[in-house]
Structure 1
Amino acid sequence: MKSKSTLLLPLAVILILAGCGAPEPDVAKGPISENRTTAFKSMMPNFSSMRKMVQGDEPYDIEKFKTAAAAFAEESQKPFQYFQHDEQGDGDALPVIWEKPEEFKAAEEKFHTAVAELNNKAQAGNLEEIKVAYGEVGASCKACHDSFRRP
């Protein structure tokens, strides 16, 4: 039987890679949404570095993982300062973000909780626990994208 981390890992990778694509040409983006996109993309190098170790594509280097997880935790705070409505275009952000702010805030908090748990597990160094926590971050990303982001 596959472990939870083994099942969640491919989902997390697909979600993250799907978020890296360029926006549809007909989606207007103003400066706020551009800043939001830039902030999210700035998180990717550390998340990808951790993914390679979690999936076994690179040897697990505990110190490298700790550093990447701590940086990712810090970087993950930045995009959320850019979730105001952008009069020049909201990019891939759906109007439901502003129509149901409590739901969006709950999704944001779930993400921050998952990221903090990943960082805690990374600092402890148990790779099996890290895999589960990494998968939870990916699941949190996917849930938010499914509800609040254009496909």
Structure 2
Amino acid sequence: MGVAEKDGIILDQVVHKELMIVPSASKTKDDVIHELGSLLFKQGYTSDEEAFIDDVYVRETEGMTGIGQGIAIPHGKSNAVNETTIAVAVLENEIEWETLDGKPVKVVIMFAVTDHDTNMTHILLLQEIAKLLAHEEFVDELVRVKSKDELHELFTANK
């Protein structure tokens, strides 16, 4: 497995198997936000589950996080976050989400960003994920993964 390192962000430092749910049985946007928020808390990446989830909802009011192609990227910048990371859920069934293309979501990539992290780290992390999502073959594989191992490999292999 390679290290995806670009612009100083090493994706396998922020992409962890213990923060992946494959498949997720969540049936609504609220379900999956709470499921990933809870997972981040249980794994020690956040210190306050509800505070972090509240910060995700604050960000949701500022604009669409459904970026199209079946992908949503909700995120929370919060003092409840202990370490900047992402949590990923590949849903069993597509769910409704406000998206740029008006289509439902199959994969949710939740960003958890520490309050004291520089904006640059957050921006670079978003850029890295955006670069991956710009590749049609990556997105095609992403919505079809069947295991955490497969998902982790997809994110951390050299592109």
TM-score higher than 0.5: no
- Of structures 1 and 2, the one scoring higher in RCO (CA 8 A, sep 6+) is 1
Give 1 or 2 for the bigger CA radius of gyration. Answer: 1
TM-score, normalised relative to structure 2: 0.34
TM-score, normalised relative to structure 1: 0.35
Greater share of strand: 2
Greater share of helix: 1
